[in-house]
Chains A and B, each alone.
Chain A
Amino acid sequence: MHYIREQVGLTGTHWGCDTSNCGACVVLMDGEPVKSCTVLAAMADGHDVRTVESLEVDGQLDPIQQGFHERHALQCGFCTPGMLMTTRALLDANPDPTDLEIRTAISGAICRCTGYQNIVGAVRWAAEHEAAARREA
């Protein structure tokens, strides 16, 4: 996580507890969400690492980002990068999760502001819009 922020200069990945408890630092390693504060940069060498910066492509927000916007799923935004990556991975593996599955997926991520309700709503929003986009395609 310090490598991503300080050497690579991608400060979207947030630095919270630094000891794998809060989930602010989640990135995808080979497609799986991991707490980057507890993976040494040397351990990630040779693996594919995706940070929150990868979600927006050519000015187009990822549906999960749009969902957080539409459903007001953040206040201070500190937990948001980790929440986005954790829930992006959830939707990649399970495109139509139940509320309980969403809550389980984010159970290792702490948000002091929202009370989680709107985050669950945002993930549902993204799931439904992605399903609609697939139907149209």
Chain B
Amino acid sequence: MQTPAPFGYERATSVDGAIASLQRLGPEARIIAGGHSLLPMMKLRLANPEHLIDINDLVELSYIREQDGEIRIGALTRHVALLKSELLARHFPVFADAETVIADPVVRNRGTIGGSLCQADAAEDLSAVCTAVKAKVVIRGAAGERVVGMEDFHVGPYQTAVGAGDVLTEVRLPLRPGSGSAHEKVERRAGDWAIAAASAAVWIAAGRITDVGIGLSAVGLTTIHLTRAEDLLRGQAPSEDLFAEAGAIAAADCSPGADGRGPIDYKRHLVGVLTHRALRRAAARAASQEA
């Protein structure tokens, strides 16, 4: 049997209550959302929190809505809701692309966007998606609320800007015209983590790429934000040659490790191809939106 170490448990009745509990119980206390990363890790003794603060009753953290020029997603929104959201499908189809290949439908009934981002596993898909669409996250702590861009979110392997006493409450996706986005992933079998995955978002106006975001999963110590390829693309007219060049930069700028999912040269090649495909599909979607 896989048994976690003993731990205390309480149910939060409000976000501020959860933060107060985190403060009171100290750094050995953890939020539990879907539990689909944390509980297996506790059973394998890779995590040993002394207290769990369950936020599943905080239905006020479960929503996807449009407000003030942004799509706002509550931290407790589950994968299945992201997959089925028409609002997201209209503005950021990259979410549906990713959600059809994240884990399996039963896991998707429980896992949340907040848990995925806070877990910050380098192989996790939504971090790459949020990096590509230039999301911002709202983090609330004892000192109040702050908004952090994805470029400042990952501070190291499995480490994010969310501190021990903080709760991630919301993900914000700025809405800008002419956008298109896509996620491309290769996995060993259905429901598995990526061998490599690439997320891309482009914003196109008057035939030029005005802005672009690219995030990679599973090919580094943390999610990779491809700034060098983004710089190349900005201001250019979209073309196959340009996207191939961006793919070549992606293959060079990622830092995969060799493991059961494949050797390094294979993963680099894969990243190049997936980045190229994600950009091609994102640009095509942007073009169809423009029309």
A interface residue numbers (CB < 8 A to B): 2, 15, 18-20, 23, 26, 32-35, 37-40, 42-43, 86, 104-105, 107-109
Q: Select which of A23, A26, A33, A40 is within 8 A of B39 by beta carbon.
A: A40
| Contact call B40/A20, Cβ cutoff below 8 A | yes
Query: Contacts of B44 on A, CB cut-off 8 Å?
Result: 19
Complex CA gap A70/B161 in Å reads 55
B2 within 8 A of A: yes
Complex CA gap A19/B36 in Å reads 8
Q: List 5 A-B contacts (CB under 8 A).
A: A23-B106, A33-B109, A40-B32, A42-B9, A42-B54
Complex CA gap A45/B241 in Å reads 57
**CB interface residues, B 121-152, toward A, < 8 Å:** none
The number of chain B residues touching the other chain, given as a range, is 20 to 34
Query: Contacts of A15 on B, CB cut-off 8 Å?
Result: 1
Nearest B residue to A23 via CB reads: B106
| Contact call B106/A86, Cβ cutoff below 8 A | yes
Complex CA gap A109/B35 in Å reads 18
Q: How far is the CB of A98 from chain B (nearest CB, A)?
A: 15
| Contact call A107/B35, Cβ cutoff below 8 A | no
Q: How far is the CB of A30 from chain B (nearest CB, A)?
A: 10
Complex CA gap A40/B42 in Å reads 12
| Contact call B106/A19, Cβ cutoff below 8 A | no
Complex CA gap A40/B1 in Å reads 15
Q: Select which of A18, A33, A34, A107 is within 8 A of B1 by beta carbon.
A: A18
Complex CA gap A2/B236 in Å reads 58
Nearest B residue to A108 via CB reads: B104
B17 within 8 A of A: no
| Contact call A38/B103, Cβ cutoff below 8 A | no
B287 within 8 A of A: no
Q: Select which of B32, B56, B107 is within 8 A of A108 by beta carbon.
A: B107
B191 within 8 A of A: yes
Known contacts A33-B106, A34-B109; A107 and B9 CB within 8 A of each other = no
Nearest A residue to B80 via CB reads: A32
B190 within 8 A of A: yes
Query: Contacts of B32 on A, CB cut-off 8 Å?
Result: 40, 43
Residue of A23, A39, A86, A108 ringed by the most chain B CB atoms within 10 A: A108
| Contact call B107/A35, Cβ cutoff below 8 A | yes
Query: Contacts of A42 on B, CB cut-off 8 Å?
Result: 9, 11, 54
